[in-house]
Amino acid sequence: MATTTYFSAGPVSIKSKVSSKKMKKTVLFLVCICLFSCSTEDGNGTSSNSTVDQVTTAKEITWIKNFGGSGDDSPRSIVPTQDGGFAVFGFTNSIDGDLAGKSLNVNDYWLLKFDALGNLEWNTTYGGSKDDRGQKAIQTADGGYAITGYAMSDDGDGSNNEGFHDNWVLRLDANGEILWEKSFGFSGHDHSYDIIETVDGGFFFSGFLDVTSSNGEGSTNKGSGHTAHGVGEFWGTRLDADGNMLWRRYFGGTNNDRAFGVVQANDGGFILSGSSESTDFDVSNPKGSYDYWVVKVDKTGNLEWEKSFGGTGIDQSQDIAKTPDGAYVIVGNTFSTDIQVSRNYGQSDVWLVKFNDNGDLLWEKNFGGPAFDAAHSVTVTQDGGFLISANSKSYGNDLTANFGENDLWLIKTNSEGNIQWQKALGGTGLDFGFDAIESPNGSIYFIGDTASRDFPDIEPKGGLDLVLIKLK
């Protein structure tokens, strides 16, 4: 059931207050890990993605806060709000701490609203008695929200479920109250990861369809050449403003294809991005084991073009954004060292790719060290550059510090993808970065989760804590 907990929006946020003395120690500690990538060498262990005149001063940590209870609490999305604040969205199975009003220790969608100073105003959960995991939130033009993810519940806030996980979309007002909710899926695991509000006030959400379990169902307006195939397919669904389905289509080949991001194209169609393991059917020019795969459809869901990016290794895209010059960037990670991947510093690098309206590759850049590094999201900054939210196990090359098993990693590039500054932050356990935004005054809010018991300047609440970091 939906539960809402309200907190006063006073000058200091709940439970995550840090003393000025402790904050000074934090700033000194984090200044020491401020990371610059300014080498122009092309030998081993250095990055060609930066030049000295492109490096700018890295942001400093203003504060770090954590939220949750004794269970696992994890964010996936952060979005600026019209009142100057922001909202964070993810999922939680806690029933205490900041989730004291929640009754069942199963995963529910979790939305937190903050004011412009980073004070928590309210937080609300949505779900039922089964596993419901929120992935993406947007603020709508009227000041409300649309949220999506994947859910198993058919009770509580959920009215229907067709199988295991379904794509579950909710429309909320400005206070987080449910206006409508709709579930879309079949008997298998169907996941949604991204949603956008369309120019006409409707919605489009993307994810993947377990097409084997759906027995080929999941596409409207099937043409005579449509063939049921695959394990998992890119799946895009178009809704009107009231959540009524207008059309849906799936794309892929005989193997595993999953869409994680979507944007509305310049011509009003849609571009879905993700990864593909297939080499047939809709996939015409695969590069390797897994590729970044991009699908362009028109306003009614007809496939216009598709492109694969990558090398002979495993390349998996996680997010897409439109650039100010009318092009697009996608980000994820690459294990490749050939074809379209110009270099690789270790096991896996963060890989940023820019392409135009025709799907032509404009440039590609990678960032990382000798171990495993991967990105989860990319957002455009006011100067036309990019914020990349990632995680890293590396020490070396673009990273001059590692604090444990896995760190949150934030990368800032200019508009050409050249790294300007980056920061790693974590404890001795597993810590992951998921999303970041830039506020109108230039501050940056970065979200992730931590399993570390020694994450700087917070008191752990449970298994996984939601971590919110402000940089200025």
What pLDDT is recorded for position 226?
55
- pLDDT band at residue 58 using 50, 70 and 90 as cut-offs: confident
Q: Between residues 370 and 22, which one has the greater pLDDT?
A: 370
21: in domain? no
181: in domain? yes
Domain that holds residue 205: 3-10+35-433
Whether pLDDT at 289 is above 70: yes
Q: Are 345 and 369 within 8 A, CB to CB?
A: yes
What pLDDT is recorded for position 28?
34
Q: Are 301 and 247 within 8 A, CB to CB?
A: yes
For 19, residues 6+ apart whose C-beta sits below 8 A from its C-beta are none
**Other CB atoms closer than 10 Å to residue 107's CB: what's the count?**
26
For 310, residues 6+ apart whose C-beta sits below 8 A from its C-beta are 287, 288, 290, 291, 292, 334, 336, 339, 340, 341
423: in domain? yes
Is beta strand 444-450 parallel, antiparallel or unpaired with respect to 465-471? antiparallel
What pLDDT is recorded for position 118?
97
What pLDDT is recorded for position 348?
98
412: in domain? yes
Query: What is the DSSP code string of 239-292?
Result: E-TTS-EEEEEEE--SSBEEEEEEEE-TTS-EEEEEEE---STT--S--SSBEE
Q: Are 282 and 253 within 8 A, CB to CB?
A: yes
Q: Between residues 22 and 319, which one has the greater pLDDT?
A: 319
Q: Cα angle vertex 378, ends 377, 384, to 5°?
A: 170
Give per-residue pLDDT as tens, 68-104: 999 999 999 999 999 999 999 999 999 999 999 999 9
What pLDDT is recorded for position 222?
62
What CATH number is given to the structural domain containing 187? Answer: 2.120.10.30
Instruction: Name the amino acid, one letter, at 434.
Output: F
199: in domain? yes
Q: Between residues 375 and 226, which one has the greater pLDDT?
A: 375
What pLDDT is recorded for position 47?
38
Q: Distances in Å between the alpha carbon of 192 and those of 46, 96, 108, 133, 410?
A: 38, 28, 15, 10, 25
Phi and psi (nearest 5°) for 405?
Answer: -60, -45
Helix (H, G, I), strand (E, B), or coil: what is residue 116? coil
Report the C-alpha gap between 26 and 24 in whole angstroms: 5
Give per-residue pLDDT as tens, 176-220: 999 999 999 999 999 999 999 999 999 999 999 999 999 999 999
What pLDDT is recorded for position 318?
98
Phi and psi (nearest 5°) for 29?
Answer: -65, -45
439: in domain? no
Give the number of domains in the chain.
1
Give per-residue pLDDT as tens, 291-342: 999 999 999 999 999 999 999 999 999 999 999 999 999 999 999 999 999 9
- pLDDT band at residue 42 using 50, 70 and 90 as cut-offs: very low
Residue 151 C-beta-side C-alpha neighbours within 13 Å: 33
What pLDDT is recorded for position 223?
55
What pLDDT is recorded for position 29?
35
Q: What's the gap between Cα 467 and its chain centre?
A: 15
Whether pLDDT at 221 is above 70: yes
- Return the structure tokens found at 35: 């990371």
Q: Label residues 421-452 b or e (16+ Cβ within 10 Å = b).
A: bbbbbbbebbbbbbbbbbbeeeebbbbbbbbb
- pLDDT band at residue 57 using 50, 70 and 90 as cut-offs: confident
The number of residues in the chain equals 472
Whether pLDDT at 20 is above 50: no
Mean pLDDT, residues 214-239 taken together: 82
Instruction: Name the amino acid, one letter, at 346.
Output: G
Closest C-alpha to 310, from 270, 284, 276: 276
- pLDDT band at residue 229 using 50, 70 and 90 as cut-offs: confident
Q: Among 31-40, 411-420, 431-440, whose mean pLDDT is lowest?
A: 31-40
Give per-residue pLDDT as tens, 390-431: 999 999 999 989 999 999 999 999 999 999 999 999 999 999
Q: Are 364 and 351 within 8 A, CB to CB?
A: yes
- pLDDT band at residue 464 using 50, 70 and 90 as cut-offs: very high
472: in domain? no
- Return the structure tokens found at 105: 């220790």
- pLDDT band at residue 55 using 50, 70 and 90 as cut-offs: low
- Return the structure tokens found at 175: 């206070």
Whether pLDDT at 51 is above 80: no
208, with CB counted inside 10 A (0-12, 13-18, 19+), is buried
pTM equals: 0.89
Helix (H) or strand (E) holding 460: none
Mean pLDDT, residues 116-127 taken together: 97
Report the C-alpha gap between 120 and 10 in whole angstroms: 9
Give per-residue pLDDT as tens, 298-310: 999 999 999 999 9
For 312, residues 6+ apart whose C-beta sits below 8 A from its C-beta are 287, 288, 289, 336, 338, 339
Give per-residue pLDDT as tens, 142-180: 999 999 999 999 999 999 999 999 999 999 999 999 999
Q: Distances in Å between the alpha carbon of 76 and those of 285, 368, 468?
A: 31, 22, 11
Helix (H, G, I), strand (E, B), or coil: what is residue 295? strand
Closest C-alpha to 447, from 371, 369, 376: 376
Mean pLDDT score across all residues of the chain: 89
Whether pLDDT at 54 is above 80: no
277: in domain? yes
